[in-house]
Amino acid sequence: MSDPKLPTNARVIIIGAGIGGLTLAALLEKAGIDYVVLERAKQVKPLGSALSIGANVMPLFEQLGILDEILENAKPFGFSTGYNERREATRILDYSPAEKIGGYLPHIISRPILVGIIERLVPTNKILMSKKILSTVQNKEGVMVRCSDNTTYHSDILVGADGAYSAVRQSLYKELERKGELPKSDGLPLPFNSTCLVGQTRPLDPEQFPHLKDGHAWFETTVGENKPYAWVTFATKCNTVCWMVLRHLEDNASRELDSSFRNTEWGPEAADAMCKEVQDFPIPRYNMTIGSLIDATPRELISKVMLEEKLFDTWYGGRTCLLGDGEL
């Protein structure tokens, strides 16, 4: 039998090797469509805590042939529990209807494991590192991307999957603004109202932490009392505990103080001060605190990031489109 006709002869450039960019690359690889991934970092770092994946993306993973591997490395959760600082349960959210509607409960999977599974589907020679984007130019003939190392790349389609401060989005929006085609709301700065400290412990002994033996993930949230914090813990299939502390920035002064983190990579450098601030926060189990989990977490797996949330009206223009992973 001859090979099926390719869906297109177009060449695609993907900017960003995060979960969104790698997933698109894996799909294009499977479809036999020509592409290259340009990533500004020197290497893809296995940072972050864990992700919740829902029924909506399970068919995509099935199409890629990795659904079974993902489910083997993930834990379902049918509910989450909210607590106060006295470790008293105050609410329970039931997610079981999701299984009836979509066929799957939400699952928790370690972010580094998910990235590793997807990354193996993409040939290494198609991911080019240390490619910081300086400019993009598009016309009816195609797209050109220029990088800081004086290299240029040409394609028929450009996909920006390069995060909140996407160079592709900024270039596209400038072009649309010159044409008077950019909605005013899309031109406003990204708002941020909170910072987030995340980490994932080393594998823990299930005999000391019996809830790790359960077939479902315990997803537990504590809301601070008279303090602008909330914190979350949840278990993974690999016997680690992922944790996250959110600090709400209530005024412009506190936001300005944190603005220095806006353009930094994920990493431990910015996290130390916040670790000290939150170490005594109680968590529901074993009379432990966030500090107990911090002590059990390798330093390179602790990150402080800023959370920006905004819905953009414009996600494409000409030969350029934008893709977010929702950090999927």
Q: Which position has the higher pLDDT, 177 or 191? A: 177
Task: Report whether pLDDT(62) > 70.
Answer: yes
Residues in CB range of 111: below 8 A, 6 or more apart: 19, 46, 47, 48, 49, 50, 51
Please tell me the predicted confidence (pLDDT) of residue 326: 42
Take residue 189 and report the two structure tokens written for it. Answer: 């700065």
Q: How far is 107 from 301, CA to CA, in rounded Å?
A: 21
Q: Where are the domains of the chain?
A: 192-308
Task: Report whether pLDDT(186) > 50.
Answer: yes
Q: How far is 86 from 100, CA to CA, in rounded Å?
A: 35
Answer whether 145's CB lies under 8 Å from 132's CB.
no
Please tell me the predicted confidence (pLDDT) of residue 261: 46
Answer whether 106's CB lies under 8 Å from 54's CB.
yes
Residues in CB range of 136: below 8 A, 6 or more apart: 143, 144, 145, 146, 158, 167, 168, 171, 172, 320
Task: Report whether pLDDT(34) > 80.
Answer: yes
Task: Report whether pLDDT(69) > 80.
Answer: yes
